[in-house]
Amino acid sequence: MKRNIGNYNAAFPTPVVVVGSMVDGKPNWFEVAWVGIGDKDIVTLSVTPSHKTCEGIRATGRLSIALVDEALMQRADYVGIVSGKKVDKSEVFDWTAGDLGAPIPTDAPVVMECELLDTYTQHGMNLLICKVKNTYAEESLLDEKGKIDYGKLKPILFEPRFNYLLTGHIVSPCIEPGKAYK
């Protein structure tokens, strides 16, 4: 029997990402877990507008969104608990500039360089609508068709009791189980 646990958003786990933008000529990074998919090339981020990284996103209209694997988890967590308003986080990740000028962390396995398309404000939060312009992925994580193999990448996910989960186990291809039913 189910219990009604109220208006609890259960649409988790979500991917944990490190978001980067240039602020006054230096990269600033923060961790975001309220991540969604808007369309094939649209990623949504729900962010607190007062974060320092958001200043750079607003000023440049560019940002990077990096998936986090286990090797990156500690630094991702760090940039999620310390603000660039208090501590210089620019050297937490080595980086290069992407084609659009957003900072691309070198050690992140997959990084999307995005353009900020739109911002919706609700309940004091900003929903950033981000268009993916370039995706930089480690060669070793690509399959023979050049697509990211999420069995190899093993991204870290977030669950709302504040735990990180590890993925990487493919239980079935899509479409086949549905076809086999009845």
Ligand X SMILES: Cc1cc2nc3c(=O)[nH]c(=O)nc-3n(C[C@H](O)[C@H](O)[C@H](O)COP(=O)(O)O)c2cc1C
Binding region for ligand X (CB under 6 A)? 28, 30-34, 46-48, 51-53, 77, 80-85, 89, 158
Whichever of 73 and 100 has its CB closer to ligand X, that residue is: 73
Instruction: Tell me how far apart the alpha carbons of residues 160 and 37 are, in angstroms, rounded to a whole number.
Output: 18
Least distance in Å: CB of 25 to ligand X?
15
Question: How many residues does this entry show for the chain?
Answer: 182
Least distance in Å: CB of 31 to ligand X?
4
Query: With helix as H, strand as E and coil as C, how does the chain read?
Result: CCCCCCCCCCCCCEECEEEEEEECCEEEEEEECCEEEEECCEEEEEECCCCHHHHHHHHHCEEEEEECCHHHHHHHHHHHHCCCCCCCCCCCCCEEECCCCCEEECCCCEEEEEEEEEEEEECCEEEEEEEEEEEEECHHHECCCCCECHHHHCCEEEECCCEEEECCCCCCCCCHHHHHCC
Whichever of 108 and 141 has its CB closer to ligand X, that residue is: 108
Least distance in Å: CB of 44 to ligand X?
11
Least distance in Å: CB of 45 to ligand X?
7
Whichever of 30 and 93 has its CB closer to ligand X, that residue is: 30
Whichever of 30 and 136 has its CB closer to ligand X, that residue is: 30
Least distance in Å: CB of 99 to ligand X?
23
Whichever of 95 and 141 has its CB closer to ligand X, that residue is: 95
